[in-house]
Structure 1
Amino acid sequence: MPTTSHDPYDTPEVLDRREGPHGEVVLRRHGALLQIIANGCFLMDTSDGRSERRLVDVAAEALAASAGPSAPHLLIGGLGVGFSLAHAAADPRWGRIAVVERERAIIDWHRGGPLAALSAEALADPRAEIVEADLVRYVNETSDTYDALCLDIDNGPAWTVTEDNDGLYTPAGLAGCARVLRPGGVLAVWSAQPSPEFEETLRNAGFQQVRTEEIPVARGVPDVVHLAVGPG
């Protein structure tokens, strides 16, 4: 998730620090930016958001190209700073918009906390809801189905926030993702770097039309979105 330049001598201000079932989660302010840190690993900040927004648009475009349903249902894995949710809610093409987030702290920061300025309008949208759950468990247990699943819970398939997320990008984990997708449904996965190995895993798991789109960011190498159409 992209960063931007700031005064290197600024000292980040910790706004909240929580210990949860998956470790420590910190929200801090660094200059004009809000940053989320999990177990000492930088996850994202409020500097840009173009790749998180593109993640949602790629899924919408893929559905439109295949003459998908009107008002498709969208599942977003990971709330983060709210860029993907806010962008989806601003798009009248989407029907139901569900965001699965396992960290209670992040949900609280959006519901009346420092991140509310980014997501309050989206959360007031009757199409949108936050589901407090672990995504891996959710895709394997829910009876709900969706036309698109946008994953943004890690820095990529090869750089997960916690070890228990590793399984999401395996054939078994992708089977869970396919389980919640309706026929012709789209899976879009955000990553800080391309992964030919993950593309091959998608194909081996039965996903079709697998491709990777690069997204230029303000600094550094491009982010990418892995896109695929569900099997069956």
Structure 2
Amino acid sequence: MLPRILIGTAEIPGGADNLRLLQRGAEFSIMLGSTELMNSRVSGSEKALATLSCEKILPRSNPRMLIGGLGMGFTLRAALELLGADATVTVAELVPEVVAWARGPLAHIFGDSLTDPRVTVLVADVVHLISEARSHYDAILLDVDNGPDGLTCESNDQLYNLKGLRLAHAALRPGGVLAVWSSAPDKVFTERLRKAGFEVDEVVVRANEGRNGARHVIWFAVKPGLS
């Protein structure tokens, strides 16, 4: 078996562990401690986060999407394939090294998505972008942790508590969608989304786009009303 080679490390602001970018042959992975956050061979649920969100906003003109977490770009690329030329996509990535990896050793995975004129990549905390917006976004996609808790850094808890969800609700236009990726279900979070004023749909998707492999969960929380 080919050994894993360490390509780079990155400190997470406010986080206890560092991120590590590893390569084994043609396969890349990003690790946080002993937890694999993402792998270049497994992208089904990250793509579903984008495609199922886009289905809810495609009838709109000039849709605005905010993606929390750049990762390996699977969510971004899937969104760009479906959104029209009038769309704008803002990606907030907390860790600058992740953006550097995207433009360096992972550039072949990202293709031309980072130079797409519809895309703006910010080294920023998505919490701040959400809290500063009012009825601005048509979709907010969050894939910054392994679920609705601050795994990568404690400040991410602000995304998932009731106050944070109400801020996301306020940041969306009527009919807009908040989509949250998770490695496992969480009934308490589902109820918290409803308490924040969302209409909630919990969807189970496969990690590898097939019938086998790990099951992941995506919450699609819609702000009632029409845009």
* TM-score, scaled relative to structure 1: 0.86
Contact between 2:134 and 2:172, CA under 8 Å: does it hold in 1?
no
Q: Offset at 1:194?
A: 1.4
Q: Is the 8 A contact 2:66 2:140 kept in 1?
A: yes
**Aligned 1:122-137 pairs, distance under 5 A:** 122-137=113-128
Q: Does the aligned pair in 2 maintain the 1:86–1:118 contact within 8 Å?
A: no
Match of 2:184 in 1: 193
Residue 183 (structure 1) aligned with residue 174 (structure 2): yes
Measure the CA separation in 1 of the matches of 2:44 and 2:80. Answer: 15
Equivalent of 1:44 in 33, 38, 55: 38
1:86-135, Cα deviation, whole Å (9 max, x unpaired): 11122243700111101000011112x11111224111210011011111
Moved more, 10-19 or 71-80: 10-19
2:202 to 201, 212, 216: 212
1:19 maps to: 11
- Contact 1:110 1:120 (C-alpha < 8 Å) held by counterparts: no
Q: After the TM superposition, which residues 108-119 of structure 1 pair with which residues of structure 2 at under 5 Å, given as runs? A: 108-111=100-103, 113-119=104-110
Does structure 1 residue 138 correspond to structure 2 residue 129? yes
Percentage identity across aligned positions?
A: 38
Task: Summarize the Cα distance change of 1:107–1:144 in structure 2 as closer, same or farther, 3 Å threshold.
Answer: farther
Matches within 5 A, 1:1-232: 7=1, 10-23=2-15, 24-64=18-58, 68-93=59-84, 95-111=87-103, 113-142=104-133, 145-158=136-149, 160-208=151-199, 210-218=200-208, 220-231=213-224
Contact map agreement 2:54 2:82 (CA 8 A) in 1 = no
Question: Could you list the per-position Cα deviations for residues 49-103 of structure 1 after superposition, in whole angstroms to 9, with x for gaps in the alignment?
Answer: 1111110111111235xxx412411111100011011111222437001111010
Q: Answer yes or no: is the 8 Å Cα contact 1:174–1:205 preserved in 2.
A: yes
Structure 1 stretches of at least 4 aligned residues deviating more than 4 Å after TM superposition: none
Aligned equivalents of 2:108, 2:82: Cα separation in 1: 18
- Cα offset, 1:47, TM superposition: 0.9
Query: Which runs of no fewer than 5 residues in structure 2 stay unpaired?
Result: none
- C-alpha RMSD over aligned residues: 2.0
* Aligned CA distance change for structure 1 residues 21 and 158 (closer, same or farther; 3 Å): closer
Looking at structure 1, the residues matched to 12 and 195 of structure 2 have their Cα atoms a distance apart, in angstroms, of: 35
Q: Structure 1 residue 28: deviation in Å?
A: 1.0
Q: Could you say what secondary structure the match of 2:70 adopts?
A: coil
**Partners of 1:178 and 1:231 within 8 A in 2:** no
Instruction: List runs of 5+ in structure 1 lacking aligned partners.
Output: 1-6
Residue 146 of structure 1, CA deviation = 1.1
**Contact persistence 2:66–2:137 (CA under 8 A):** yes
* Residue pair 1:41, 1:161 contacting (<8 A) in 2 also: no
